[in-house]
Amino acid sequence: MDKTGKPVIQVKDLYKIYRVGDTKVRALNGVDFTIYKGEFCSIVGASGSGKSTLLNMLAGLEKPTKGEIVIAGEHMEKKTENQLVKFRREHIGFIFQSFNLMATMNAVENVALPLTFQGVKKAQRMKRAGALLDMVGLQKYKKHRPTQMSGGQQQRVGVARALVVEPEIVFADEPTGNLDSNTSEEVMRLMRRVVREKNQTLVMVTHDNYLAGFADRIFHIRDGKIVRIEDNTGRRDEAAGEGPQAQALPEKKEDGARGAAGNGGAD
Ligand code: ADP
Ligand code: MG
């Protein structure tokens, strides 16, 4: 959003090469970018283009073959497993495609769970989890278990759980992959609103160009490379609207590394 703000994620010359038998798969093939505090960035590309690999690498869940990842001033690629666990717990929230809620726990208990790992006392946990559920519009569903909620409601719980620890950065991998299109849009707006309120940085991976358009900037990934970065902020401020402005307005062709790529990549 605010490109004069401080960089929170810096990726430099990043490679991830998997060896499968005799063949090498270049899942990430030289990636460079910077994401600034308060931005909502989407990474969009077809299946197999390297999105999950990139997100896993940013989150320190996998080690790069080569390159640097600096998050909140710290080099992820230099950390030990234990340091990474601690770093994630303190700085990062995750929203998963499959929601990953605990089936035996109700909504408020699910949202409170990450706070247990931070040693927050029970009364305080419940209070903070309850406030987050209010924020995502689930005030009436605090006692509901996952099976007693719709997919969209479950993902709202997922969003609340990711944000309850007030992470600087939120990563979401196909967060609406299991939701219908209307519910997906609602979850996009919700994520965008809540991270903006707290000036958090959101990085979302998706294969869906339309949903990617809800972000401030859209990174197009293809064969392990960022081939184009679209800036939506000007359009969003003009439109001052709710929707994915990239689609509402004509494509800018001249700023593209590959001209007519607008709707090309996704599967
Ligand atoms: P996306 O999330 O965009 O669908 P991925 O990041 O999962 O793509 O995968 C990128 C490429 O890397 C694909 O060709 C995939 O087959 C390959 N790949 C991903 N993970 C592994 C792995 N653990 N071992 C070997 N190849 C992998
Ligand atoms: Mg993936």
Using one digit for the tens of pLDDT, what is the confidence trace for 47-89?
Answer: 999 999 999 999 999 999 999 999 999 999 999 999 999 999 8
pLDDT at residue number 243: 65
- Centroid of ligand 2 to alpha carbon of 55 (angstroms): 9
- Centroid of ligand 2 to alpha carbon of 49 (angstroms): 8
By mean pLDDT, which of 36-40, 121-125, 173-177 is the weakest? 173-177
Domain that holds residue 149: 38-63+80-238
- Centroid of ligand 1 to alpha carbon of 68 (angstroms): 20
Indicate the average pLDDT of the chain.
88
Candidate of 52, 97, 221 to mutate for ligand 1, largest count of ligand atoms within 8 Å of Cβ: 52
Closest ligand to 265 CA?
1
Q: How far apart are CA 158 and CA 132, in angstroms?
A: 11
**Closest CA to ligand 1's atom 26:** 18
pLDDT at residue number 245: 62
Residue 169 has pLDDT above 90, yes or no: yes
Q: What residue has token string 């706070």?
A: 115
Q: How far apart are CA 55 and CA 172, in angstroms?
A: 8
- Centroid of ligand 2 to alpha carbon of 164 (angstroms): 25
pLDDT at residue number 96: 86
pLDDT at residue number 261: 41
Using a 6 Å CB cutoff, which residues line ligand 1? 18, 20, 25, 27, 45, 47-53
For the chain, how many structural domains are there in total? Answer: 1
Candidate of 53, 174, 219 to mutate for ligand 1, largest count of ligand atoms within 8 Å of Cβ: 53
pLDDT at residue number 233: 84
pLDDT at residue number 236: 59
pLDDT at residue number 238: 54
Residue 138 pLDDT level (bands cut at 50, 70, 90): very high
The answer to whether position 206 is within a domain reads yes
The answer to whether position 7 is within a domain reads no
Hey, what are 252's tokens?
A: 């800018």
Residue 5 pLDDT level (bands cut at 50, 70, 90): confident
pLDDT at residue number 97: 85
Please state the pTM of the whole predicted model: 0.85
Percent of the chain with pLDDT over 70: 87
DSSP-assigned beta bridge partners for residue 122: none
The answer to whether position 215 is within a domain reads yes
Specify whether the CB–CB gap between 118 and 165 falls below 8 A.
yes
pLDDT at residue number 242: 62
Q: Which atom of ligand 1 is nearest to the CA of 49?
A: 3
Residue 258 has pLDDT above 80, yes or no: no
The answer to whether position 70 is within a domain reads no
Find all residues with CB under 8 Å of 54, minimum gap 6, and list them.
Answer: 14, 28, 31, 43, 205, 221
- Centroid of ligand 2 to alpha carbon of 51 (angstroms): 6
CATH number of the domain bearing residue 122: 3.40.50.300
How far apart, in Å, are the Cα atoms of 195 and each of 49, 203, 255? 27, 11, 28
- Centroid of ligand 1 to alpha carbon of 50 (angstroms): 6
Q: How far apart are CA 146 and CA 170, in angstroms?
A: 22
| Region 9-37 average pLDDT | 97
The answer to whether position 69 is within a domain reads no
Q: How far apart are CA 144 and CA 110, in angstroms?
A: 10
As residues whose CB is below 5 A from the ion ligand 2, the structure lists 52
Residue 203 has pLDDT above 50, yes or no: yes
pLDDT at residue number 4: 58
pLDDT at residue number 30: 98
Q: How far apart are CA 160 and CA 166, in angstroms?
A: 10
The answer to whether position 259 is within a domain reads no
Q: Can you give the chain as a three-state secondary structure string?
A: CCCCCCEEEEEEEEEEEEEECCEEEEEEEEEEEEEECCCEEEEECCCCCCHHHHHHHHCCCCCCCEEEEEECCEEHHHCCHHHHHHHHHHHEEEECCCCCCCCCCCHHHHHHHHHHCCCCCHHHHHHHHHHHHHHCCCHHHCCCCHHHCCHHHHHHHHHHHHHCCCCCEEEEECCCCCCCHHHHHHHHHHHHHHHHHCCCEEEEEECCHHHHCCCCEEEEEECCEEEEEEECHHHHHHHCCCCCHHHHCCCCCCCCCCCCCCCCCCC
Q: How far apart are CA 1 and CA 11, in angstroms?
A: 18
Which of the pair, 254 or 194, is modelled with greater confidence?
194
Closest ligand to 173 CA?
2
Percent of the chain with pLDDT over 90: 75
pLDDT at residue number 108: 97
The answer to whether position 219 is within a domain reads yes
